[in-house]
Every structure is written in structure tokens, then in C-alpha cells.
Chain A
Amino acid sequence: MKKKTTGESTHSPEKKTLLVTGAGGALARLATKVLATKYNLIGVDPRPLSSNHHFPGDFFQIDYHHRQMTEVFRNHKIHALIHLGRIRADTRTSANFRFEMNVIGTQKLLELSRAHGVEHLVVLSTYHVYGAHRHNHSYLTEDEPLRASQTFPELADAVELDHAASTFLWRYPEVRTTILRPVNIIGKHVKNTICQMLRGGFCPQLIGYDPLMQFIDEKDMARALILALDQPIRGVFNVAGEGVLPYSKAIQLAGALPVPVPGFVGYPAVKILASLGLGFPPHLLEYFRYQTVVADDAFRKSFGFVPKVSDPISLAALKSQRNPVVEQFLQGRQRKDSDS
């Protein structure tokens, strides 16, 4: 077990211990800053921590389905677990690897949690599990069928993760389980597909389609996670930011340039790029065609959650990270547009 203790292993006995998976990720980074004041933290992640990431607690680099995970539970009395470690679908990870990590790994974590008397479990799922389907009505509630795996087998691991956690939630009421299905998380630290595209500056858009989307700022999402840990409420909850906006508006607010692509070019092009490990996974294209808008009333009401960062502000923040050459080019274009 590669252990990396980042300095302050000050486990105080009066604090409860919280295990954070996906500890190297953006959300963990934001949330643990606050959580460190309330909990003794243990972080795990299959990836190494980036050099500038200071994890406020013990960190172990292990795969979730590896038996070393058991050791972590044996050696520490863990009170709560926050599972942020879902491996996102991208063109560089295989479906097999994701299945191992997300499905087998999550099941392992759930079993260990039960066996070792974890009191509270927060699982981060995604709104993608609902699937981008043309029959989607607006404001999908949590009890809606999860269509994603029907349309895209590539997303089966995400749906299975969600199912495993939901089954656990109902079967073992002694563990307080909260499952969050957030919409597109955006922010400086986040590296998901939509963020990378908006940050990059050139956003392909299927001609004729401009679906409604929802975004939540990374800071708001971190707050949502902390709320979920703090409050004794179990269940499945959609988490969203303050409103809906079309994809084209998101591109505009992020100061990026839409690149119109006809569907008959877009679909094969994305497949070819994906096979080369570039671009983004083909199934995600459907989310740029049909809307998947979720209702977050339940989370807001139960947890008293109100997003603080508005969409225009969090989208505009992505500009600051853009390549300066690209940014200069885009600004030049905008100036030319406003002149004419």
C-alpha cells in the first residue's frame, strides 16, 4: 500500500473519521478544505495526487476493488464515507476498466462500509444516468427510469453504480445513504468533457440542435456534498444550479466559439476521434442533441440548499484558464462581430 501522509496526521480522537474516495479530484479538493475542520480525513484514489495538491489527511493510492481497501477499513474506524471516485467515461479509459472500478469497486466499498459499521455514506452519481432521450420531459425526478444504459451501453457502469448504491440504500437502512445525481459540474478545477470543451474555446455544436442544459458551479457542488454529509437525510437526490440554458448560450457565456457540425459528420467524426483516444466519448453526443433536464426541488427542500454562484458567472470563469493565444483570437472575433 503506497501511503502518502501529507504532513499533518493529526488524528484527534474527538473527531469522527471520514473516508474520501476520488481524493485527488477537483470536488474532493474543494470539499475537504471545509471537511478537515470537522473530520479526520482519509483519502483514497487510484491516481497519484498532483504535486500541488495538499490533501489534509492520510492519503492512499489504491484501486477501490483491490483487497488493500479492506486494510484501510481494518486499520481505521471509519464513521462516514464519501464516494466521489466514479471514473468518468472518456476516450482514454476502456469500458472494462470503468466497469471494474465503478461497479466492482463501488460494491466492494459498500460491502466494507456495512461490515465495518460506517454510519453515513454519500455517493456521487451523475444526471447522465437518466439518458439523453427524445421523449425526455423537462424536470426529471429521482424516480424516473434510468434510460442511459438502454441507449448507450458505454454508460452501463455509471447506471450500475447508481443501482448498486440505490439497492444498498433500501436494503441496509442502518447505513444512512445519500445518493447525489448532479448536473454538469463546472469550475476551474473540474476536468469533465463539457468543462474541457468550454475552456478550450471551440465547441462543436450539432446543426439544428441546441438542447437545454443545467450547470452547477464546483463550489456549490462542494457545498452540496458537505450538506449531504451534515444532515441526517437518506435518499436519492438530483442536484442542480440555478437554472436552465441552451448549450449555445453556455458557449456564449464562456466566451467560446460554436463550431457547427452536421449530424452526419459529427457522429462518425466523434467515433473516429474516440478510437484514437481524442475528443470525447461518442455516447455523450446525445446529450448535445436531446435535453436531460432534472428537477432538484427535493434536494433544495430537504437540505435547504440554494446555489450561490450563477451560471453566467461560473461559465465566464472558465475564460481565465483558456490558452492566451486562443483567447486573444476569440476576443478579436467578438470585437469584429460587434463592430459590423
Chain B
Amino acid sequence: MAKSRLRPFIAEFLRNYSSSQLGIDLEDRIHRAIPELNASGYDPWGLDPKTVHLAASFFSILYRHYFRVEVEGTENVPAGRAMLIGNHGGQIPLDGVMIAMSMLIDANPPRIVRAMVERWVPVVPFVSTFFIRVGEIIGHPKNCRELLNKDHPVLVFPEGVKGSGKLYKDRYQLQKFGTGFMRLALETKSPIVPVAVIGSEETYPGILDLKPLANLIGAPYFPVTPLFPWLGVLGMIPVPAKITIRYGKPMHFDLASDAPEPEIRKAVDKVKHSLQFEIDEGLRIRGNSIFTKAAK
């Protein structure tokens, strides 16, 4: 079968490229970032180091050559448990991938970020399996609590699908934040690190959201961009905007996890403001061109 012969070849190429051309020893970094594996070779959440290696090899090429990612402030992510709060946008979770890549290849020591994914993901074939193998977890509060208690960095997009599905005209305007993440952070005593991703919200410039079609296929939204769905698969190629990731200072809150909702809301707003500050700062530095970073 042609397919089965081609697959190892592609895998080999990707692994070699990341180590020889990009000079990243992914295998070593992944090995250092995974705390425990069982006898069958998986971590307690179903993460498979081999799949992570392959996926990271592919995304490292996107990371370095396509989106030319620049990272600031990885040292702001504390060792041990941490909750990363990011802005969500651009239809597919490239922002999450790029944050995970930055923590894996640009942070020292390397970390594997556990993103909380949408709860409709398990029904999607292949995607659901892939997510689990690379360490992403279904966004259930109990999963989040367990991961934080085991000192993993957890990535949450409090905007949820309202964020990722937002249109081009609304880019970088944070949508309503849920408060669940704050209660979990308080309960597990996890510091909160705002993570601003600049550029990702331009990768799929949504013009329209076809809600009825989305409902039909059971998706949360159906974006129409200048290229999608008109060009089919070609229309799925993201705009090569330059991506900058800015990690803000870790935030601690002196609040009980069962504090009344208005108090929690106040704390959430503080996180939202500092995230918006990082975004605005990043946008200001970037200037008008989405493809290059202007001089400071």
C-alpha cells in the first residue's frame, strides 16, 4: 500500500527537519516535559510521546517558518501548577497550538501545556483521538482540577467558542469571560498567567458566521472567509500572519474559591484587563502590518 509506505517517510522527514534545520532537540525536550509514563508508554491522560514528537515536528515548522512566532516572557510561567489564560480567535485553535509550541521549544525547562478543549470534540473522529494523544483534555472542571493538582500548566480560553468563532471585525476584543476558571484556580491555589496571542486572530478572517449550517453539522459556528469555503481545502490554508505571544506576570488572588459570584467576577475582570493590556501592548508594538513586526 502506497499510503503505509509514505507515512513513515513523511514522519522521518518531519523529525529530521525539526532537529537538523531548526536545531531543536524535540525528543529530549518532550522527554523532560513528561513527568510520568505507565508500562504501556502513555501518561495518565493518554498522552503518547511519539505522537507529541511527530505533531511537534510538524508544528515547529509552522511555528518557525510560517507564523515566525516571537515569544516574550516565558519566564513568567511559574514552575509547577499554573493556569494560562489566553485570548481566543481565528476559527481553529491555532492560538492554542502556538502557545503549546512556545512552552515546549522556547521555554526553559520545556513544559507540555494541557489545553482544555470544547466538550463537543469527543464526537469528532480522528480529531478527538489526536487531541488526547498530544495531551489535550476535555474541558471538564474535574479534569482541570486533577491536572492542576498534579502540577501541570493548564491552558484555558475563557471566551470559549464565542472567542474562536468571532469575526474579523471583532478581533482582539475579548468576549465575555466565564468565571469557572477563577474558582478552580483559587481552589487549587494556582497562579494565573495571562497569555496574549497577537496575529492568530488574523489567520482566518471570518466575514460571516452561517449559524443554520453550523447547527446542521453540529458545530458551534461555520465561518465564511474570503477564501473559505469558496476554495475548498485551499481555503483552509491560514493567512501567514506574524504571531507574537506575550506572557504576562503571574497573578495571585486572595479569595475563597466559594466566594460570592460578584467578588469572583471582579477577580475575573482583573485577569481580563491584564490580558487586554498585553494584547493592546502587542498590537501597539506590531503596528498596522499583520505580516511583519514594526520596530519598537
Contacts and interface: CB of A to CB of B under 8 A. Distances in A.
Nearest to B46: A212
B40 A311 contact: yes
Contacts of B132: 212, 246, 291
Interface stretch (B137-145, B219-227, B230-238): B137-145
A4 interface: no
Contacts of A207: 125
B42 A137 contact: no
A153 interface: no
Contacts, number: 75
A340 interface: yes
Contacts of B143: 137-138
Contacts of B119: 134-135
B76 interface: no
A138 B38 contact: no
B260 interface: no
Contact of A244 (B38, B122, B126): B38
B44 A244 contact: yes
Contacts of A212: 42, 46, 132
Contacts of A208: 125-126, 128-129
A155 to B, nearest CB: 20
B287 to A, nearest CB: 43
A243 interface: yes
Given A137-B142, A137-B143, A242 B129 contact: no
Contacts of B123: 134
A210 interface: yes
Nearest to A245: B40
Contacts of A139: 44, 142, 146
A329 B37 CA distance: 32
B125 A209 contact: yes
Contacts of B42: 212, 243-246, 249
B39 A311 contact: yes
Given A138-B143, A243-B44, A290-B122, A210 B129 contact: yes
A312 interface: yes
A146 B273 CA distance: 41
A304 B38 CA distance: 19
Contacts of A134: 119-120, 122-123
Interface string A292-315: 000000000000000000111000
24 contacts: A134-B120, A134-B123, A135-B138, A135-B140, A138-B44, A138-B46, A138-B138, A138-B143, A138-B146, A139-B44, A206-B125, A208-B126, A209-B129, A212-B42, A242-B38, A243-B44, A244-B42, A244-B46, A245-B38, A245-B42, A246-B129, A263-B125, A310-B39, A311-B39
Interface of B: 5, 38-42, 44-46, 48, 119-120, 122-123, 125-126, 128-129, 132-133, 137-138, 140, 142-143, 146
**List of 5 A-B pairs having minimum Cβ-Cβ separation, nearest first:** A208-B125, A243-B38, A137-B140, A310-B39, A245-B40
